[in-house]
Structure 1
Amino acid sequence: MSTFMRAMAVLGASLAMAACGGDLASEEPLAPEAAALAQTEAELGACTAWSEWTATGYYYCLTHLNCGGTWQCIPELRNGGDTTSLQGQDGEPDEFIPECPPGTVLTRVLNPSRTDEQMSYRVCFNEAGTYTHTERQYRNFTAACGC
């Protein structure tokens, strides 16, 4: 087991003991482990700033509140569906909300929207300035209504 992993195990055990009402381990036995952890962190070096968000080319067809929707009567899947609590949702006048026949329930069905994926990255180097790895993060956003 590496020194870093031992330090993390000791730290985790100490926190668990404290959470369960036990005594915290004294800090003297942790000193060599803490020094090793600090050295490991220093060897990681630093990462550049995150890049601008760029499109990955992937997109999804989902639904979104901003794209509106329609009221529909769908077959009731459970007993006792309450359609009256849906009356007038989204500021629509009640005359646009259909009356549903028995055995169906009034449901707001959202319109489709195109959700695009974007990515940002940063490059990381060790203390000597040698490349170590690239970190990536992703986000999705509603690009347009309709698919």
Structure 2
Amino acid sequence: MCTSLALTACGGPMTEEEAAAVEAEALASQEAELGSCGTWSEWLWDGSSISCSPRLGCGTYCDEYGNCDVNPGAFRQQYSYRACFDEYGNYTHTEYQYRTGAFLSCGC
């Protein structure tokens, strides 16, 4: 409301689209000031995690009903992380993201 009054004084009333854009920009700015997360780390190997998913290079198998599927393979996982802080610069939490890494072997 304050924004629309100020802009009204400077050149006429705002359209609904202009008002929504100004409000969205102000909200994004406020959220950015409240806290933020650092940049993502480099990808690291997760030595304890092995994901299992189909791999064409491991061949296929068919059940007794003639349904065929791709044999699974084992993959190492990679992860990346970033630290997050509140508006006062205090650490709040760490965020993680994961992806499938190097192929290890056929079978899981």
TM bucket, shorter chain: 0.5 to 0.7
Tell me, in whole angstroms, the C-alpha distance in 2 between the residues paired with 1:26 and 1:54. Answer: 47
Pairwise mapping of residues 84-123 of structure 1 onto structure 2 (< 5 A)?
105=66, 108-123=68-83
Asked whether 1:144 is paired with 2:105, we answer yes
Q: Which of 21, 43, 48 is the matching residue for 1:57?
A: 48
Residue 144 and residue 46 in structure 1: after superposition, are their counterparts in 2 closer, same or farther (change >3 A)? same
Tell me, in whole angstroms, the C-alpha distance in 2 between the residues paired with 1:54 and 1:109. Answer: 29
Q: Which runs of 5+ in 1 are unaligned?
A: 1-23, 76-104
Tell me, in whole angstroms, the C-alpha distance in 2 between the residues paired with 1:44 and 1:56. Answer: 32
Larger radius of gyration: 1
Q: Which runs of 5+ in 2 are unaligned?
A: 1-14
Q: State TM-score, norm by structure 2.
A: 0.57
Task: Please state which structure has a larger fraction of its residues in strand.
Answer: 2
Residue 108 and residue 131 in structure 1: after superposition, are their counterparts in 2 closer, same or farther (change >3 A)? same
Aligned residue pairs: how many?
A: 93
Q: Deviations over 1:6-53 (max 9, x none)?
A: xxxxxxxxxxxxxxxxxx724347646643441222222341332432
Aligned-residue CA RMSD (Å): 3.2
Q: Is the 8 A contact 1:46 1:127 kept in 2?
A: no
